[in-house]
Structure 1
Amino acid sequence: MYKIVGKKALAPQIFLMDIAAPRVAKSAQPGQFIIIKMDEKGERIPLTISDFDAERGTVTIVVQTIGCSTKEMENYEIGDSFSDFVGPLGQASELMSESIEELKKKKIVFVAGGLGTAPVYPQVKWLNSQGVKADVIIGAKAKEYVIMEEEMKKVAGNVYPCTDDGSYGYKGLVTNKLKELVQNEGKKYDLVVAIGPMIMMKFVCKLTEELGISTIVSMNPIMVDGTGMCGACRITVDGKTKFACVDGPEFDGHKVNFEEAMRRQAMYKTQEVSKNEGIKAGCGLGGTK
C-alpha cells in the first residue's frame, strides 16, 4: 500500500498529492510517469511525475478531476493509501541525455498549458540544479487556474503567466506570448518544450516551425493504459508508429502527426463521457480507500 503523506488544492478541480513510494522516488527522472490504482478493482491511471524526493521517499502527482476515477481520488486524504503505485515508466526527458556543457549553451523556454505546468516543473527544477535557467510561459484560462507559479519562480529564469481572460499576467494565448518574446522583445531561444493540451501543443509547434525553433512536446494527454498493450496512445512521428507511453512521452513536435493524435483522443473522450453519464449515480465516490 502507498500512503498519502501530503495533499493540497492548487486550483478548482486540481489537487496535489505526495505519495510515499521510496523505490519509485529513488529511480524517478524528469519526464517520466507512474500508474496508480486506488484499490484492487480500480482503474489504471497514468499520471506524470510532478516532483520527487529520494531522501524523503516521496513522489508528487498533480491530478485534475475529470473522469469518475479522478473524482473518486479527490476524496482520498492524508493517511489513506492506494493499492498500486507503479513506476517510474516511460522515457526520461531528452534533456537528461545531453551534456551539461551543451545545455548551458542553450536558451530554453518551456510552454506549459493548464495541468501541463506540473510535468514542466521537475524538468525546470533539474535544469536549475545543473546551473541552467530556463524561461517558463504558464497558460491558464483565468488567474485561479494558474498553478505552481511560486515554485516555478524559485527554479526558472523568467516566468510569464498568461490568462485567456486577462485576469492575471499577459492577456492571451501562450503562443502569442511566445511570439511577442521572440519578435518584440528580442528573445532568442534554441529549444521550446511544450506540455499541455493537445491543441495548444499543435499550435506551439506551428509557430515554432515558422520561427525556426526546435520543439519537444509531451504526448501524455493520450495515454490510457501506460504500458503500450492497449494501443490507445499510438501516434505517428516522422511517418513511423510510436507509442506515447513506451517510446515517449516526449517527441520532436515538428514530426508528430497532431491531426491523427487529436482524432484518436476525441474518440476516447466520447467513450469517457458516455461512461460518466452511464454511471454518474453510482460513481463509487467515497468507496474503499
Structure 2
Amino acid sequence: MQRDKRFAWAWAAAGVVAITGLLGACDPEDDDPAPAPTPDAGTRADAGTQQPTDAGTQTDAGTRADAGTDAGTQTPTDAGTDAGTQTPTDAGTETDAGTETDAGTETDAGTETDAGTPTVVVVDGNWFPSGYFGSNNSAEAGNIKEDPCPGSRPEGARGSCHRFTWTPSNGEAWAGVIWQYPANNWGAEDGFAVPSWATSVSFTAWGASGDEAVDFLVGIGAPDADGFERKEAFRLTPEPKQYTIDVSRVRGSLVVGGFGWVSGAGGKTAPVVFYVDDIHWH
C-alpha cells in the first residue's frame, strides 16, 4: 500500500514537469531567440536618441554652436570678415591701393610746388626799368646809361642782366631807376598783383671796381603808388653776390615798383658802374 502511494506521487511530479515544459514551449517571450533588453541596447535614451546631451543632439554634434560656427556660418567676425568682406581698411581700400595720397596725387606729381608752376616771380618781363629819377632829373639829362652785361651770367640766373653807369654832373647828388608796372607808371594805374607766398626779393649784384655804394629798394612810397618802400644799403664787391630784401609785410599787394636802385655821388663826379642780375620775388 505504501509502495502504491510513492508510485502515484512520482507520476504526479512527472506530470507537473511535463505541463511546465509545455507551458514554457508556448511562452510568447521565447519567440525572440536573442532578446535585446530595451534599457541596454538600441534604446532612444542610449543610442540615436534625440536627447540633447548624448549623441547626435543639437548640442554635441552638428549644432551651429559646435560644428557649424567656425566653418560655413555667416558669422561676420569668424569666417567671413578677414576673407572676402568689403571692410575698407583690409583689402582694396583707398588708403592701401590707388589712393590720391599714394599714387598720382597732386602733391607727388605735377603740383604747383613740385613741378610746372613757378615758385618765383621774375622782375624782368613783369616790371620794366622805365622809372628814371634823380636830384637833377637824371632821366632827361641822360646821366644814367643802361647796357647789357658782358661775359657770362651767374648759373641759373633769371630775367636780364643790367649794367648801369651813372655819371653825376652839375652837382647832382643822387639818381636811380625803378622797375615799374606798367612801364612809366608812377601810381596812376594799379600795380602788378604779387602772389601772397612771395615774401622776399633777391638779386645778384657786383661793382665794376668794388666798393660802390648802392641802395636797392622795393616799392614806391608815394600814397598814390604803393604807399610803402623797403630800401637797404649795400657796399658792392667786384665778385657777384646775392642779396635779399624782406617784403613779407606787403605780400599779396598790387605793386607798382617791383624793384629799384638809387646811388649817391658823395660829392664825386666819377662814374658809378655796377651790375644787377637775376632779380626775382620768391
* Same fold at TM > 0.5: no
Bigger radius of gyration, 1 or 2? 2
TM-score, with normalisation over the residues of structure 2?
A: 0.22
TM-score, with normalisation over the residues of structure 1?
A: 0.21
The structure richer in helix per residue is 1
